[in-house]
């Protein structure tokens, strides 16, 4: 094996180990080895490095590992970015929700996913449930298409390599200033999603208004689109976009 490949492999293994803690607070060495399919000695070697840098801590009594304090600084930094967007959006999301009593959500891009960072949920009986913190793939839905449309082709290639979406369709989304779901019959859900643009002209988040198709395919639809686009524009202005 080439030396370069070996280094990459170590990094990937380290990430695999860290990701074990996405669904567990504390783990024993052998549990991590089992989850990652690595030998205990390999896990120990990597964990020692991670421990040295504060990414993982070990409770000397229970011998269990947990995420280290270094992560806290990352979380705060990520939160600070999102917090600014949330602050700029909250009132406007509330107004949009108040008008239609349909789900209003705020998404940011999170690696290969879109992450819900804020929401107002309809009080109507038929509703789709998403929680703050839920991550969705980029292959489906209006908001995914919106994020893809605003990416450079290179980013798109990296984040969503196997998608079959026509360039034309994505160009249309940018010129229209909103995206709609294309799978409404399959999912039963229609979403309208519009881009939130920051001071530097970069799309940083998306606001969506969504609900069951039977409540959306009617005369109000064009108003819903207009209001969602207007809400996104207002939030963008709050963020300093001109």
Partner 1 sequence: MEDIIVRNLKLNTEEPKICNAVIGETREAIIQETKILSELEVDLFEWRADNYKDISSKKETLETMVHLQRAAKNKPVIFSIRNNKSGGSYPFSVEARARACQWAIESGSIDLVELEVSFGKRIIDSLIAAARERNVKTIVSFYDYEKTPEQKQLIAALDECESYGADLSKLAVMAKTKRDILNLLVSMWKMENSSDEKPRIVVAMGPQGNISRILPSFFGSVLTYASGITMSLEGQINPNDLRTILSLTK
User: Which residues form the interface with partner 1 (CB under 8 A)?
Assistant: 169, 172, 176, 180-182, 184-185, 213-214, 217-219, 221-222, 225
Q: How far is the CB of 186 from partner 1 (least distance, A)?
A: 10
Burial of 7 (0-12, 13-18, 19+ CB in 10 A): exposed
Neighbour count for residue 137 (Cβ, 10 Å) = 11
Give Cα 172 to chain centroid, integer Å: 23
Whichever of 7 and 214 has its CB closer to partner 1, that residue is: 214
Whichever of 75 and 169 has its CB closer to partner 1, that residue is: 169
Q: How far is the CB of 143 from partner 1 (least distance, A)?
A: 14
Whichever of 115 and 173 has its CB closer to partner 1, that residue is: 173
Q: How far is the CB of 167 from partner 1 (least distance, A)?
A: 13
Burial of 67 (0-12, 13-18, 19+ CB in 10 A): buried
Helix 167-176 to helix 142-149 angle (10° resolution) is 90
27: DSSP letter: B
Distance CA 241, CA 105 (A): 20
Q: How far is the CB of 128 from partner 1 (least distance, A)?
A: 16
Whichever of 60 and 222 has its CB closer to partner 1, that residue is: 222
Distance CA 80, CA 172 (A): 32
Q: How far is the CB of 233 from partner 1 (least distance, A)?
A: 17
Whichever of 141 and 235 has its CB closer to partner 1, that residue is: 141
């Amino acid at each position: 094996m080439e030396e370069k490949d070996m280094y990459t492999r170590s990094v990937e293994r380290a990430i695999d180990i860290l990701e074990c803690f996405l669904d567990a607070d504390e783990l024993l060495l052998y549990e991590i080895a089992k989850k990652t399919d690595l030998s205990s000695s390999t896990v120990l070697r990597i964990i020692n490095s991670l421990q040295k840098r504060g990414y993982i801590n070990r409770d000397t009594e229970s011998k269990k590992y947990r995420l280290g304090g270094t992560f806290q600084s990352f979380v705060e930094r990520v939160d600070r970015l999102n917090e600014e967007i949330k602050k700029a959006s909250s009132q406007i999301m509330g107004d949009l929700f108040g008008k239609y009593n349909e789900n209003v959500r705020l998404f940011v891009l999170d690696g290969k996913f879109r992450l819900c960072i804020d929401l107002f949920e309809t009080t109507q009986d038929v509703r789709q449930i998403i929680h703050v913190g839920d991550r969705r793939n980029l292959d489906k839905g209006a908001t995914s298409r919106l994020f893809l449309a605003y990416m450079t082709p290179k980013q798109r290639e990296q984040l969503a390599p196997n998608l079959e979406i026509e360039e034309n369709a994505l160009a249309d989304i940018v010129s229209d200033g909103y995206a709609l779901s294309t799978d409404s019959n399959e999912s039963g859900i229609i979403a309208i999603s519009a881009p939130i643009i920051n001071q530097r002209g970069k799309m940083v988040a998306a606001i969506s208004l969504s609900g069951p198709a039977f409540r959306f395919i009617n005369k109000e639809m064009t108003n819903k689109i207009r209001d969602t686009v207007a809400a996104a524009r207002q939030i963008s202005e709050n963020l300093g976009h001109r």
